[in-house]
Amino acid sequence: MNIKSYPPLFRPHSNLTQNIGPDEPIEHIEDLDPIPVIDLQCLEKLDGACKNWGLFRLVNHGVPSTLLSQIQDQARKLFSLPFEHKQAVISSPLSYVWGTVFLSSSGVAVRSSQDMFNCWAEVINFPVTQLSQFQTQDSLLDSFRHQVEEYGKHLARIARTIFQVMAKNLNLDPRQSESYLAESTAFIRAHRYPQISEGKQAWGAGPHRDGSLFSILSQDQIGGLEVYKDNKWFPVKPVANTLLINLGEMMKAISDDRYVSAKHRVRVYKQEDRISVNYFVFPDFDCVIRSSKYKPFTYNEFRAQGQKDIESLGFIVGLEGFKLSK
Protein backbone atom coordinates (compact mmCIF):
# COMPACT_ATOMS: atom_id res chain seq x y z
CA MET A 1 0.00 0.00 0.00
CA ASN A 2 1.41 3.36 -1.07
CA ILE A 3 0.06 5.57 1.72
CA LYS A 4 1.46 8.72 0.08
CA SER A 5 -0.78 8.17 -2.96
CA TYR A 6 -3.92 8.77 -0.88
CA PRO A 7 -5.32 12.21 -0.10
CA PRO A 8 -4.22 12.94 3.51
CA LEU A 9 -7.68 12.45 5.00
CA PHE A 10 -7.91 8.95 3.50
CA ARG A 11 -4.69 7.76 5.14
CA PRO A 12 -4.73 5.20 7.96
CA HIS A 13 -4.06 7.78 10.71
CA SER A 14 -7.14 9.79 9.68
CA ASN A 15 -10.17 9.79 11.95
CA LEU A 16 -12.56 10.00 9.03
CA THR A 17 -12.97 6.27 8.42
CA GLN A 18 -16.68 5.61 8.75
CA ASN A 19 -18.32 2.80 10.63
CA ILE A 20 -21.53 2.09 8.76
CA GLY A 21 -24.34 1.49 11.21
CA PRO A 22 -27.48 -0.64 10.85
CA ASP A 23 -28.81 -0.47 7.33
CA GLU A 24 -31.35 -2.00 4.99
CA PRO A 25 -30.67 -5.72 4.52
CA ILE A 26 -28.75 -6.79 1.45
CA GLU A 27 -30.07 -9.62 -0.67
CA HIS A 28 -27.08 -11.92 -1.17
CA ILE A 29 -27.87 -14.46 -3.85
CA GLU A 30 -24.86 -16.72 -4.02
CA ASP A 31 -25.78 -18.92 -6.97
CA LEU A 32 -27.82 -16.50 -9.07
CA ASP A 33 -27.04 -13.11 -10.56
CA PRO A 34 -30.35 -11.19 -10.67
CA ILE A 35 -28.99 -8.36 -12.84
CA PRO A 36 -30.46 -8.58 -16.38
CA VAL A 37 -27.97 -9.55 -19.08
CA ILE A 38 -28.35 -7.84 -22.46
CA ASP A 39 -26.50 -8.79 -25.65
CA LEU A 40 -25.60 -5.69 -27.67
CA GLN A 41 -26.10 -7.68 -30.87
CA CYS A 42 -29.62 -8.74 -29.83
CA LEU A 43 -31.47 -6.01 -27.92
CA GLU A 44 -34.93 -7.58 -27.77
CA LYS A 45 -34.88 -7.68 -23.94
CA LEU A 46 -33.60 -4.12 -23.53
CA ASP A 47 -37.01 -2.55 -22.92
CA GLY A 48 -37.83 -4.89 -20.05
CA ALA A 49 -34.49 -4.31 -18.34
CA CYS A 50 -34.98 -0.53 -18.58
CA LYS A 51 -38.50 -0.72 -17.15
CA ASN A 52 -37.80 -3.18 -14.34
CA TRP A 53 -34.24 -2.45 -13.22
CA GLY A 54 -32.77 0.63 -14.89
CA LEU A 55 -29.49 -1.26 -14.80
CA PHE A 56 -28.23 -4.20 -16.84
CA ARG A 57 -25.10 -6.11 -17.70
CA LEU A 58 -23.94 -5.76 -21.32
CA VAL A 59 -22.21 -8.60 -23.14
CA ASN A 60 -20.95 -9.01 -26.70
CA HIS A 61 -20.23 -5.27 -26.67
CA GLY A 62 -17.20 -5.26 -28.97
CA VAL A 63 -14.73 -3.58 -26.62
CA PRO A 64 -11.51 -5.63 -26.73
CA SER A 65 -10.84 -7.41 -23.43
CA THR A 66 -7.23 -6.23 -23.66
CA LEU A 67 -8.38 -2.59 -23.71
CA LEU A 68 -10.66 -3.16 -20.70
CA SER A 69 -7.72 -4.66 -18.79
CA GLN A 70 -5.34 -1.89 -19.86
CA ILE A 71 -7.77 0.84 -18.77
CA GLN A 72 -8.10 -0.75 -15.34
CA ASP A 73 -4.35 -1.31 -14.96
CA GLN A 74 -3.40 2.19 -16.10
CA ALA A 75 -6.00 3.79 -13.84
CA ARG A 76 -4.63 1.84 -10.88
CA LYS A 77 -1.07 2.94 -11.67
CA LEU A 78 -2.13 6.57 -12.08
CA PHE A 79 -3.98 6.63 -8.77
CA SER A 80 -0.91 5.04 -7.12
CA LEU A 81 1.21 8.11 -7.90
CA PRO A 82 1.96 10.38 -4.91
CA PHE A 83 -0.98 12.60 -4.00
CA GLU A 84 0.97 15.85 -4.46
CA HIS A 85 2.17 14.71 -7.90
CA LYS A 86 -1.40 13.99 -9.04
CA GLN A 87 -2.47 17.43 -7.85
CA ALA A 88 0.37 18.99 -9.86
CA VAL A 89 0.01 17.17 -13.18
CA ILE A 90 -3.76 16.72 -13.51
CA SER A 91 -5.03 20.05 -14.77
CA SER A 92 -7.77 21.55 -16.96
CA PRO A 93 -9.70 20.26 -18.85
CA LEU A 94 -9.17 17.24 -16.57
CA SER A 95 -10.03 17.51 -12.89
CA TYR A 96 -8.84 15.56 -9.86
CA VAL A 97 -10.99 15.54 -6.72
CA TRP A 98 -11.77 13.36 -3.74
CA GLY A 99 -14.60 13.00 -1.26
CA THR A 100 -18.20 13.79 -2.22
CA VAL A 101 -18.13 14.71 -5.92
CA PHE A 102 -20.72 16.37 -8.16
CA LEU A 103 -20.72 18.35 -11.42
CA SER A 104 -20.75 22.11 -11.01
CA SER A 105 -22.76 24.39 -13.30
CA SER A 106 -19.64 24.78 -15.43
CA GLY A 107 -19.40 21.02 -15.91
CA VAL A 108 -16.32 20.55 -13.71
CA ALA A 109 -16.20 17.80 -11.10
CA VAL A 110 -15.86 19.44 -7.69
CA ARG A 111 -16.20 18.53 -4.02
CA SER A 112 -19.19 19.48 -1.95
CA SER A 113 -18.33 22.14 0.61
CA GLN A 114 -21.20 20.90 2.79
CA ASP A 115 -20.11 17.27 2.96
CA MET A 116 -16.57 17.35 1.67
CA PHE A 117 -15.22 14.01 2.87
CA ASN A 118 -18.36 12.01 3.35
CA CYS A 119 -17.50 9.58 0.54
CA TRP A 120 -14.41 7.42 0.47
CA ALA A 121 -13.35 7.97 -3.16
CA GLU A 122 -10.84 9.64 -5.47
CA VAL A 123 -11.91 10.76 -8.95
CA ILE A 124 -10.21 11.84 -12.17
CA ASN A 125 -12.62 13.39 -14.66
CA PHE A 126 -11.91 13.26 -18.43
CA PRO A 127 -14.18 15.38 -20.72
CA VAL A 128 -14.06 13.18 -23.81
CA THR A 129 -14.21 15.83 -26.54
CA GLN A 130 -11.56 17.99 -24.86
CA LEU A 131 -8.89 15.35 -24.30
CA SER A 132 -6.91 16.34 -27.40
CA GLN A 133 -6.37 19.77 -25.81
CA PHE A 134 -4.65 18.32 -22.75
CA GLN A 135 -0.86 18.59 -22.64
CA THR A 136 1.32 16.94 -20.01
CA GLN A 137 4.92 15.92 -19.50
CA ASP A 138 3.86 13.00 -17.32
CA SER A 139 4.27 9.85 -19.45
CA LEU A 140 1.84 7.73 -17.41
CA LEU A 141 -0.94 10.33 -17.53
CA ASP A 142 -0.33 10.92 -21.24
CA SER A 143 -0.50 7.19 -21.98
CA PHE A 144 -3.72 6.86 -19.99
CA ARG A 145 -5.24 9.86 -21.76
CA HIS A 146 -4.64 8.18 -25.14
CA GLN A 147 -6.22 4.96 -23.88
CA VAL A 148 -9.21 6.90 -22.57
CA GLU A 149 -9.66 8.49 -26.02
CA GLU A 150 -9.71 5.06 -27.67
CA TYR A 151 -12.02 3.68 -24.99
CA GLY A 152 -14.36 6.66 -25.37
CA LYS A 153 -14.84 5.91 -29.07
CA HIS A 154 -16.01 2.38 -28.25
CA LEU A 155 -18.39 3.61 -25.55
CA ALA A 156 -19.82 6.34 -27.79
CA ARG A 157 -20.64 3.60 -30.32
CA ILE A 158 -22.32 1.52 -27.62
CA ALA A 159 -24.26 4.53 -26.29
CA ARG A 160 -25.59 5.38 -29.79
CA THR A 161 -26.62 1.79 -30.45
CA ILE A 162 -28.45 1.41 -27.13
CA PHE A 163 -30.16 4.80 -27.28
CA GLN A 164 -31.43 4.26 -30.82
CA VAL A 165 -33.26 1.16 -29.64
CA MET A 166 -34.53 2.93 -26.50
CA ALA A 167 -35.85 5.82 -28.61
CA LYS A 168 -37.62 3.39 -30.95
CA ASN A 169 -39.15 1.46 -28.03
CA LEU A 170 -40.39 4.74 -26.50
CA ASN A 171 -41.66 6.14 -29.83
CA LEU A 172 -39.57 9.30 -29.38
CA ASP A 173 -39.50 11.95 -32.08
CA PRO A 174 -36.32 11.13 -34.11
CA ARG A 175 -35.44 14.82 -34.53
CA GLN A 176 -35.77 15.47 -30.80
CA SER A 177 -33.81 12.32 -29.97
CA GLU A 178 -30.71 13.73 -31.62
CA SER A 179 -30.39 16.34 -28.86
CA TYR A 180 -31.17 13.85 -26.09
CA LEU A 181 -27.90 11.97 -26.66
CA ALA A 182 -25.16 14.60 -27.01
CA GLU A 183 -21.72 13.04 -27.29
CA SER A 184 -20.17 16.49 -26.82
CA THR A 185 -21.32 16.37 -23.19
CA ALA A 186 -19.80 12.95 -22.44
CA PHE A 187 -17.07 12.42 -19.90
CA ILE A 188 -15.18 9.45 -18.51
CA ARG A 189 -14.65 9.31 -14.77
CA ALA A 190 -12.03 7.04 -13.20
CA HIS A 191 -12.65 6.21 -9.53
CA ARG A 192 -10.42 4.79 -6.85
CA TYR A 193 -12.08 3.71 -3.63
CA PRO A 194 -9.09 3.42 -1.26
CA GLN A 195 -8.68 0.30 0.80
CA ILE A 196 -9.89 0.57 4.35
CA SER A 197 -8.66 -0.60 7.74
CA GLU A 198 -9.69 -4.08 8.86
CA GLY A 199 -13.07 -4.09 10.55
CA LYS A 200 -14.06 -0.71 9.09
CA GLN A 201 -16.57 0.22 6.38
CA ALA A 202 -17.31 3.41 4.46
CA TRP A 203 -19.48 4.68 1.65
CA GLY A 204 -17.52 5.06 -1.55
CA ALA A 205 -20.72 6.66 -2.82
CA GLY A 206 -23.88 6.92 -0.76
CA PRO A 207 -27.31 6.01 -2.14
CA HIS A 208 -28.06 8.18 -5.19
CA ARG A 209 -29.38 8.29 -8.74
CA ASP A 210 -27.24 9.66 -11.57
CA GLY A 211 -28.31 12.85 -13.33
CA SER A 212 -27.10 11.54 -16.69
CA LEU A 213 -28.99 9.98 -19.58
CA PHE A 214 -27.15 6.79 -18.72
CA SER A 215 -23.66 5.60 -17.88
CA ILE A 216 -21.46 2.68 -18.95
CA LEU A 217 -19.35 1.21 -16.17
CA SER A 218 -16.30 -1.02 -16.17
CA GLN A 219 -15.45 -2.26 -12.67
CA ASP A 220 -12.64 -4.42 -11.33
CA GLN A 221 -13.16 -7.66 -9.42
CA ILE A 222 -13.23 -6.18 -5.89
CA GLY A 223 -17.00 -5.60 -5.67
CA GLY A 224 -18.98 -3.18 -3.55
CA LEU A 225 -21.55 -1.80 -6.00
CA GLU A 226 -25.16 -2.31 -4.90
CA VAL A 227 -28.47 -1.51 -6.63
CA TYR A 228 -31.86 -0.91 -4.98
CA LYS A 229 -34.94 -2.73 -6.26
CA ASP A 230 -38.19 -3.92 -4.66
CA ASN A 231 -37.17 -2.34 -1.32
CA LYS A 232 -33.97 -4.41 -1.23
CA TRP A 233 -30.30 -3.79 -1.94
CA PHE A 234 -28.70 -6.28 -4.35
CA PRO A 235 -24.92 -6.64 -4.78
CA VAL A 236 -23.83 -6.17 -8.39
CA LYS A 237 -21.23 -8.88 -8.77
CA PRO A 238 -18.15 -8.14 -10.90
CA VAL A 239 -18.15 -10.22 -14.08
CA ALA A 240 -15.06 -10.05 -16.30
CA ASN A 241 -15.39 -8.55 -19.81
CA THR A 242 -18.88 -7.19 -19.20
CA LEU A 243 -20.08 -3.60 -18.88
CA LEU A 244 -22.84 -2.22 -16.68
CA ILE A 245 -25.38 0.21 -18.13
CA ASN A 246 -27.05 2.40 -15.50
CA LEU A 247 -29.98 4.64 -16.48
CA GLY A 248 -30.03 8.14 -14.99
CA GLU A 249 -32.66 10.74 -14.22
CA MET A 250 -32.63 12.28 -17.71
CA MET A 251 -33.64 8.92 -19.20
CA LYS A 252 -36.40 8.56 -16.62
CA ALA A 253 -37.80 12.01 -17.53
CA ILE A 254 -37.49 11.49 -21.28
CA SER A 255 -39.31 8.17 -20.99
CA ASP A 256 -42.18 9.76 -19.00
CA ASP A 257 -41.24 7.51 -16.06
CA ARG A 258 -41.60 4.34 -18.12
CA TYR A 259 -37.91 3.65 -17.52
CA VAL A 260 -36.30 3.41 -14.09
CA SER A 261 -33.44 5.57 -12.85
CA ALA A 262 -31.45 3.06 -10.83
CA LYS A 263 -30.74 3.95 -7.21
CA HIS A 264 -27.30 2.62 -6.30
CA ARG A 265 -24.40 2.98 -3.89
CA VAL A 266 -20.83 1.77 -3.38
CA ARG A 267 -19.79 0.14 -0.12
CA VAL A 268 -16.08 0.09 0.77
CA TYR A 269 -15.21 -2.74 3.13
CA LYS A 270 -12.11 -4.51 1.79
CA GLN A 271 -8.40 -4.06 2.35
CA GLU A 272 -7.85 -3.53 -1.38
CA ASP A 273 -8.31 -0.50 -3.61
CA ARG A 274 -11.36 -0.69 -5.89
CA ILE A 275 -11.05 0.79 -9.40
CA SER A 276 -13.92 1.63 -11.72
CA VAL A 277 -14.11 3.61 -14.97
CA ASN A 278 -17.46 5.13 -15.92
CA TYR A 279 -18.66 6.83 -19.11
CA PHE A 280 -21.49 9.34 -18.66
CA VAL A 281 -23.55 10.89 -21.46
CA PHE A 282 -26.16 13.66 -21.23
CA PRO A 283 -28.61 15.61 -23.38
CA ASP A 284 -27.51 18.85 -25.02
CA PHE A 285 -27.24 21.40 -22.23
CA ASP A 286 -29.92 23.63 -23.79
CA CYS A 287 -32.23 20.82 -24.93
CA VAL A 288 -35.71 21.23 -23.38
CA ILE A 289 -36.94 18.00 -21.81
CA ARG A 290 -40.73 17.77 -21.83
CA SER A 291 -42.72 15.20 -19.91
CA SER A 292 -46.24 14.79 -18.57
CA LYS A 293 -44.66 14.09 -15.16
CA TYR A 294 -42.28 17.07 -14.85
CA LYS A 295 -42.03 20.78 -15.55
CA PRO A 296 -40.14 21.51 -18.79
CA PHE A 297 -36.44 22.00 -18.08
CA THR A 298 -33.06 21.95 -19.77
CA TYR A 299 -30.15 19.88 -18.55
CA ASN A 300 -28.36 23.16 -17.75
CA GLU A 301 -31.24 24.07 -15.44
CA PHE A 302 -31.22 20.62 -13.86
CA ARG A 303 -27.49 20.84 -13.21
CA ALA A 304 -27.70 24.39 -11.84
CA GLN A 305 -30.48 23.34 -9.46
CA GLY A 306 -28.31 20.46 -8.28
CA GLN A 307 -25.56 22.90 -7.38
CA LYS A 308 -28.05 25.08 -5.46
CA ASP A 309 -29.30 22.00 -3.62
CA ILE A 310 -25.74 21.08 -2.61
CA GLU A 311 -25.05 24.60 -1.33
CA SER A 312 -28.30 24.91 0.61
CA LEU A 313 -29.13 21.32 1.61
CA GLY A 314 -25.88 19.38 1.31
CA PHE A 315 -27.40 16.91 -1.17
CA ILE A 316 -29.04 16.90 -4.61
CA VAL A 317 -32.84 16.60 -4.74
CA GLY A 318 -32.73 15.60 -8.41
CA LEU A 319 -35.70 14.96 -10.66
CA GLU A 320 -38.21 15.08 -7.78
CA GLY A 321 -37.57 18.81 -7.59
CA PHE A 322 -39.10 19.26 -11.08
CA LYS A 323 -42.14 17.05 -10.53
CA LEU A 324 -45.51 18.52 -11.47
CA SER A 325 -47.99 18.93 -8.64
CA LYS A 326 -50.95 16.58 -8.82
Q: Examine residue 315 and state whether it is found in any structural domain, yes or no.
A: no
Beta strands in the chain (DSSP E): 37-39, 55-59, 95-98, 101-103, 109-111, 122-127, 182-193, 202-208, 214-219, 225-229, 232-235, 243-247, 264-268, 274-282, 288-289, 297-298
Q: Examine residue 5 and state whether it is found in any structural domain, yes or no.
A: no
The CATH number that applies at residue 105 is 2.60.120.330
Residue 200 belongs to domain spanning: 26-285
Cβ neighbours for 274, distance < 8 A, ≥ 6 positions apart: 191, 192, 193, 204, 219, 220, 222, 223, 224, 266, 268
Q: Is the pLDDT of residue 166 over 60?
A: yes
Look at 52-61, 80-89, 117-126, 151-160 and tell me which has the smallest mean pLDDT. 117-126
Q: CA 280, CA 213: separation in Å to the nearest integer?
A: 8
pLDDT of residue 26: 58
Under the banding of pLDDT at 50, 70 and 90, the label for residue 112 is very low
Q: Examine residue 321 and state whether it is found in any structural domain, yes or no.
A: no
Average pLDDT over residues 147-161: 96
pLDDT of residue 3: 84
How many domains does the structure of the chain reveal? 1
pLDDT of residue 115: 43
Q: What separation in angstroms does the CA of 120 have from each of 14, 49, 146, 272, 323?
A: 12, 30, 27, 13, 31
- Selected residue with higher pLDDT from 314 and 184: 184
pLDDT per position as a tens digit, 33-48 = 789 999 999 999 999 9
Q: Examine residue 306 and state whether it is found in any structural domain, yes or no.
A: no
- Selected residue with higher pLDDT from 41 and 309: 41
Q: Examine residue 10 and state whether it is found in any structural domain, yes or no.
A: no
Mean pLDDT, the chain, as a whole number? 87
Contact, 225 vs 261, CB < 8 A?
A: no
Q: CA 225, CA 241: separation in Å to the nearest integer?
A: 17
Q: Examine residue 314 and state whether it is found in any structural domain, yes or no.
A: no
Q: Examine residue 273 and state whether it is found in any structural domain, yes or no.
A: yes
pLDDT per position as a tens digit, 23-35 = 555 555 555 678 9
Q: Is the pLDDT of residue 114 over 70?
A: no
Q: Examine residue 105 and state whether it is found in any structural domain, yes or no.
A: yes
Cβ neighbours, 10 Å, residue 186: 23
Q: Is the pLDDT of residue 19 over 50?
A: no
